[in-house]
Chain A
Amino acid sequence: AQSVTQPDIHITVSEGASLELRCNYSYGATPYLFWYVQSPGQGLQLLLKYFSGDTLVQGIKGFEAEFKRSQSSFNLRKPSVHWSDAAEYFCAVGANAGNMLTFGGGTRLMVKP
């Protein structure tokens, strides 16, 4: 069965600083990997996804993520954080067979002025 671990429950960064959110997955084959963002009281919005090809993927809002098979990781990065990026971020993994996504526990990002 697939699983996702987000080791950092909370992260605080200063506005303008760089950001990296960690995600480790467990799955036997090449997974489909996703990052979603959730603002308070809202549903989840897709930031980016990876399923094959270039291991560095670009997403919306200036985010990118890098798939590293050797480390079973799919970390999310942003070079310069804006106050509006404060939200909860979820990494998810999908199996090739079937459509179910398994989510990590999330990382809450706070941005200091």
Chain B
Amino acid sequence: EAGVAQSPRYKIIEKRQSVAFWCNPISGHATLYWYQQILGQGPKLLIQFQNNGVVDDSQLPKDRFSAERLKGVDSTLKIQPAKLEDSAVYLCASSQTSVRHGYTFGSGTRLTVV
């Protein structure tokens, strides 16, 4: 089975610029997650989708971050404008309906804001 696909792998932008990340989950996985992993820390959930609806976005900085999952498949995470502290790896994961199956993670996008 194909894994979770993410692009780009790396991105370097200047502060105040905008950036977008793309994720294609495993086919048939209803739930999609975006996590932010700052260097030296564990992943932190930004947003969770169930099909094309948002389940939890309580930790998403909505003044600058936005995410969508059109048609319940692919998802895009956007940052506008970026700040230095947004430098991190952005991980996309997908899972079947229940968390008991665990997640499958993509390789992530490493963002550097300079």
Contacts and interface: CB of A to CB of B under 8 A. Distances in A.
Contacts of A56: none
What band does the interface of chain A fall in when counting residues whose beta carbon is under 8 Å from B? 20 to 34
A28 interface: no
B95 interface: yes
B99 A32 contact: yes
Given A100-B45, A105-B42, A106-B42, A51 B107 contact: no
B45 A46 contact: no
A95 B99 contact: yes
Interface string A42-55: 11111001010000
Given A98-B99, A99-B31, A99-B98, A43 B42 contact: no
A95 B48 CA distance: 14
B55 interface: yes
A104 B41 CA distance: 8
Contact of A90 (B31, B43, B56, B93): B43
A4 B43 CA distance: 12
Interface string A26-44: 0000001010100001111
Interface in B29-47: 31, 33, 40-45
Given A42-B107, A99-B48, A94 B42 contact: no
B21 interface: no
Contacts of B108: 42-43
A57 interface: no
A106 B89 CA distance: 15
Given A44-B91, A90-B43, A105-B42, A100 B99 contact: yes
